[in-house]
Amino acid sequence: MAIKLFREALREALIEEMDRDERVFLMGEDIGRYQGSFRVTEGLFQKYGPQRVWDTPISEPGFIAIAIGAAIEGLRPVVEVMTWSFAFLAMDQIVNHAAKILYKSGGACPVPLVIRGPAGPGRQLAAQHSHSFELWMAHAPGLKVVLPSTPADAKGLLKTAIRDNNPVMFIEHPQLYLTRGEVPEDEYTIPLGVADIKRQGRDVSVITYSRGVLVAQQAAERLQQEGIEVEIIDLRTLVPCDWDTVFNSIRKTHRAIALHDDWRYAGFGAEIAAQVQEHAFDWLDAPVLRVAGADVPMPYNKHLERAAYPQVEDVITAVKQVLA
């Protein structure tokens, strides 16, 4: 195992898949000569040239539409959005076209497309650059939604996403790009729809993904000092979602907390709570709790920003509440 940055693991996945399949190409704003806002595509323009690493105009509706057309014609585009907040501009292309073409064609026309980039609160990126986008994507049938939390998962899941014949929305948290972790040096992929138990525990199940996994791990380490053992379920993909792993964990702990950065109202935590209520209610000894972002636009002020999305203290409070 080598220790790599999250963004380095993503870059390795892109290189390996571009070397493996000449149909894979990259496109996005400033990903070539500038090498990407978060340096994920660093060096790839020099390695592969402008035919396979496209710097696009500032027009998300335009270049995502081009990527959909390329995918329909048999190429495998990987589109980087500078931030998923800007993808609001291309919702028609993503939801009305990429997500529906396979269905409308009776299965005759796959769309092997990956759209990847950062989403979620960064560090003082303010309201228009801090959206957690996953619920919007998970709500649209036809889209797969991936949110890795570690460098190893990021690489393995991105390789799988690129090989998938469906449109995959690959959402990376900006606070994870500089995190480090072990990454296997041998060839590997991680299947979509398989959750990972990041920490075993007996007292409460924290169901989360992306940055939430790191927050839950820090909370679990502090709670362990008080004799409380937290089990952490990293969903990794929201569509498809591995509900069996969630239910099996609740069968053991009898308590559940849904954790995510997205707004609390109608966020993915509500779906987690609904699934648990419908399929694991008999095993619960307490209501499902949600730890999520405040229902406000993201403040720029760093103290207000910190209060607007979950912190370690919030998870600790929720765990003690559900155990009371």
Query: H or E segment at 169?
Result: strand 168-172
Q: Which two tokens stand for residue 63?
A: 């270049």
Alpha-carbon distance of 89 to 202, in angstroms, equals 44
3-state secondary structure of 108: coil
- β partners of residue 183: 2
Cβ contacts of 278-285, under 8 Å, gap ≥ 24: 279/243, 279/247, 280/246, 280/247, 280/250, 280/251, 280/256, 283/247, 283/250, 283/251, 283/254, 284/250, 284/254, 284/255, 284/256, 285/254, 285/255
Task: Find the distance separating the first CA and the last CA of the chain, reported in whole Å.
Answer: 41
Answer left, alpha or beta for residue 167, where phi above 0 means left and psi between -120 and 50 means alpha: beta
- β partners of residue 116: 80, 170
**Residues annotated as catalytic (active site), given as ranges:** 60, 129
Inter-axis angle of helices 312-323 and 211-224, to 10 degrees? Answer: 60
Residue 208 DSSP label? E
Residues 6+ apart with CB under 8 A from 59: none
- Residue 205 in contact with residue 250, Cβ under 8 Å? yes
- Residue 299 preceded by cis peptide, ω within 30: no
